[in-house]
Each structure stands twice: as C-alpha cells, then as structure tokens.
Structure 1
Amino acid sequence: MQLKRIAYTLCFSAGTVLLSGMVAFAQAPGSPQQPSMPQQQTPSSSTAGNPGAGSGAYPSTAPTSQDFAEKAFVSKALEGGEAEVQLGQLAQDKSQSNDVKQFAQKMVNDHSQMADKWLKPVAKQLEVPEPKGPSKKDKKEIAKLQGLSGADFDREYITMMVKDHQQDLKEFKNEADAAQDQNVKQIAQQGSNIIAKHLQLIEQIAKAHNVDVGGSEMSSSK
C-alpha cells in the first residue's frame, strides 16, 4: 500500500515537471507563434466613395480659365455672325443705295459661310451650345434699324457696321494671339483677315456717303 502511494506521487510530480517545461518552452523567446489574421483596412474619408482617389484612375479634367475664354469667344462670334446676317438682310430690303445693298449681301454670304464652315464645327468640338440668335445688344440695333428708312437707314447702318467691325477685328486679333486650341486660333486668324476687308470696304462706303463715324480708325492703320 505504501509503495503504491509512493509510485503515484512520483508519477504526479513527473507530470507536473513535464507540463511546466512545456509552458516554459512555449513562452521562451524565438518560439514559433500562430500567425495573426491581417486587419481589414477601412477606407479613409478622403477615398471613401471615390474609387479612383489616389490611384490615378480618374485624372483631373477640370476646365481652365483659358478653356472658358475660348468657348466664350466661339459663342460670341456665332452671335455676332448671326447679327451680321440679319442686319444684312434688313439692309437689302430697306436701303436705297446700291453700294450699301452690295455690302449687305456680302455680309450675309461671308458670315453665313464663316458660321457653317468654321464656327459651328469648332463649337461642336468644344461642346459650346449654338446661340439662339443675336445677343440682346444686337437685337436692340436690329430693332432700331427696323424703324428707319431711306438715307436715315443708310447712315445708321453704315455707322453700326464700322463700329461693329472695329470691335470684332480687335477681338479676333486678340484671340488669334491668345488661343491655345489650334482650331480656335485658326478661325480667329482667318476671321481677322475677312473682318479687316469688311472694315476697309464699309469705311470706303462711309466716305462716299459723307457719314462721320466719329473716331473711326481706318483698317489700314491696324
């Protein structure tokens, strides 16, 4: 009986020592550890909801001030061209002078071609909506001329044409120098040449009709 107790005590002690040794080994430096699960990253507030943020998938294409300026030029040129066509048609009906009528017909032809061949295709390319007719300022000029006739009409039409073409020539030349879009630059350059010829012609008509356009600068001096 005493021998059984001694044997049991020895076996228990040996087991305790063995278990202690295993625990000590597991806690010893350099012992292999169970790999931890990778933590799932939570999208930050700067990228959440924007799959391309920080990846270059959606590069910035915000329009610049230069883009707005070129679009505004094309839109205004279309408006001005439409006004020239309507004023020319009105002059053909109301003028009593052959040279004024011939000039008016040239305005209808040239500005219609400029719009159809140059301005409208570029406007479509730049996603510029076509204006719904002349500007408010040009509409007022058209309304003013509709109330005139004879020599009064000719005088007012000639004066308008000189001033309008002086302003148009200045704007087209500025755009030809400043435009970065090559199509816009080209129509500005070509348009400048045509407008300069128009200005020279209407200034000659103004002299023939003794119309004082007040501060008019001859196209040859530009």
Structure 2
Amino acid sequence: MAFAVPSLAADSAQDFVDKAAVGGRFEVESSQSVLSKLDDQQVKQFAQKMIDDHGAANAKLESVAADQKLKVPTQLDAKHKTDLEKLQSAKAPVDESYVEMQRTAHADAVKLFESYANDGDNAALKTFAKDTVPSLKAHQQMVEDIASKMAAGLSSTSSTTPAVNTTDTPNTGGLVPGANSFTEDQARSRIQDAGFSDVSDLKKDDQGIWRGQAMKNGKSTAVGLDYQGNIVASTN
C-alpha cells in the first residue's frame, strides 16, 4: 500500500498553510477511517490521539491563517485523497499499514514544521510551527515505539489503566520501560485527566517512567506514567 510523501519544505506562507493543512486533515481522516479496523489496543489509542491532537492543531492553523488573510484548503489534494481511499478500502486488520504510514507522515511533518519554524517568511506562522514541533516529535516517538514492538512480535491488548493496589510499593509490572517523550507538564496533565489531583514531585527515572505523588479518593498515592501513557498507582 503506497501513501503520499509530501514535499518537506514550504516556499511561502501560503505554501506552508496548504501543506500543513492537507497533512493535518489527512492525519485526522486516515485515523478516523482505521479505528474500527485495528486489532492492537495501543495502535487504537494512538489513532484516537491523532484525531484529537491534529484536530486541535488544524483548528489553530485555521485561526492563525485567517488572521494572516491566508486561505486554508478544505479538502485533501488528489494524492492524499487517493491514499485515504486505499486505506478505507483495505481489509482489516490494517495495523501494520497504518503504523508504517504514520511513521512516514510524522517524519515528513517534523521536517516541514522545523524547516518553516527556522526559515519561514511569516512571523505568526513561524511561531505556530515552532509551538507544534514538540507535539509532532512526541507523536513520532510514540509511533516509532509502536513499530518497534510490532517488529518484535509484541502487542498491547488492554486499554485500561492498571488497577490501584494497596501495597506500599508501586505496581511497576503495569509500566513499560522505554524512551518517554512526555514532558513534565504533559505527564502531569495526563495523570490529572485520569482522575488524580495535586500531582507533585514528578521525576523521570532511568527507565523513562515518570514517577510522583498525587491524590485520589482522598488518599495519597504514588503514581507512575510510562511512555505509552499507562498509569499505575499504589496507595500509601
């Protein structure tokens, strides 16, 4: 299955908007199209994250472009549309094809955004590109980690957060060591989104796992977050 490989540099502000908007729309629509055809739970979670994160980035790009009096494409170009149709018509499961597509797409997106952040001709768009690069790199790290696991014959079958236990030692069995691209703020936000409050003392250990303290149900809790976004806690 072949996928579009966009040019990695933008010649102008409008060119950057065109390429970034089409790429972002393709990310959302391609991820939406595979959700029901994925077997691996981690890949499903990644696809949903692409829908959420790129959806937000697309909205931000539209806002910045409107302020700069630039037009935002409302549809995919012919090449991306053809690729999307191939993905939509492929028989399930499509995990490997989707992951490989995401590896290429994010490598290209990082180059496009970094290039414009450094050499772009529009200050507002340069700021947008610079602010978006960390998220794109985080996505890139996630999909590379997924690809490595798939190549090793591993899979993730659970989408649930491991249960909170009542021992004095964190249940590290539910956390997966690996290069963690979450920043401290992102880790704190993800832990809070899982129902914890007063997240503090976050530090990333030598296994790439963020560890800290938090409150849940009125109890102090040791909490850990791995590179996949899994959260494990133990009541103190």
TM-score, with length taken from structure 2: 0.58
Q: Does residue 1:147 correspond to 2:89, yes or no?
A: yes
Equivalent AA in structure 2 for residue 149 of structure 1:
K
- Matched residues in 2 for 1:127 and 1:192: separation? 23
CA RMSD of aligned residues (A): 2.2
Name the residue aligned to 2:128: 187
Equivalences, count? 146
- Matched residues in 2 for 1:135 and 1:107: separation? 20
Name the residue aligned to 1:129: 71
Name the residue aligned to 2:102: 161
Name the residue aligned to 1:204: 145
Q: Does residue 1:114 correspond to 2:79, yes or no?
A: no
- Matched residues in 2 for 1:73 and 1:142: separation? 21
Equivalent AA in structure 2 for residue 120 of structure 1:
E
Contact 1:75–1:128, Cα closer than 8 Å, also in 2: no
Structure that is richer in strand per residue: 2
Following TM superposition, by how much is the alpha carbon of 1:75 offset from its aligned partner in structure 2, in angstroms? Answer: 1.9
- Matched residues in 2 for 1:164 and 1:200: separation? 12
Q: Does residue 1:97 correspond to 2:40, yes or no?
A: yes
Query: Any gaps of 5 or more consecutive residues in structure 2?
Result: 1-9, 153-178, 182-236
Equivalent AA in structure 2 for residue 167 of structure 1:
D
- Matched residues in 2 for 1:181 and 1:148: separation? 40
- Matched residues in 2 for 1:161 and 1:178: separation? 25
Following TM superposition, by how much is the alpha carbon of 1:87 offset from its aligned partner in structure 2, in angstroms? Answer: 0.9
- Matched residues in 2 for 1:89 and 1:137: separation? 18
SS at match of 1:209: helix
- Matched residues in 2 for 1:107 and 1:123: separation? 21
Task: Give the fraction of aligned pairs with identical amino acids, expressed as a percent.
Answer: 30
Structure that is richer in helix per residue: 1
Contact 2:12–2:121, Cα closer than 8 Å, also in 1: no
- Matched residues in 1 for 2:126 and 2:88: separation? 35
SS at match of 2:12: helix
SS at match of 1:150: coil
Following TM superposition, by how much is the alpha carbon of 1:137 offset from its aligned partner in structure 2, in angstroms? Answer: 1.9
Q: Name which one, 1 or 2, has greater alpha-carbon Rg.
A: 1
TM-score, with length taken from structure 1: 0.61
SS at match of 2:80: helix
Equivalent AA in structure 1 for residue 12 of structure 2:
A
Q: Does residue 1:74 correspond to 2:17, yes or no?
A: yes
- Matched residues in 2 for 1:91 and 1:208: separation? 19
Q: How does 1:29-44 map to 2 (within 5 A)?
A: none
- Matched residues in 1 for 2:78 and 2:117: separation? 26
Name the residue aligned to 1:46: none
Following TM superposition, by how much is the alpha carbon of 1:68 offset from its aligned partner in structure 2, in angstroms? Answer: 6.2
- Name which of 114, 129, 137 aligns with 1:173: 114
Contact 1:74–1:123, Cα closer than 8 Å, also in 2: yes
Equivalent AA in structure 1 for residue 45 of structure 2:
Q
SS at match of 2:58: helix
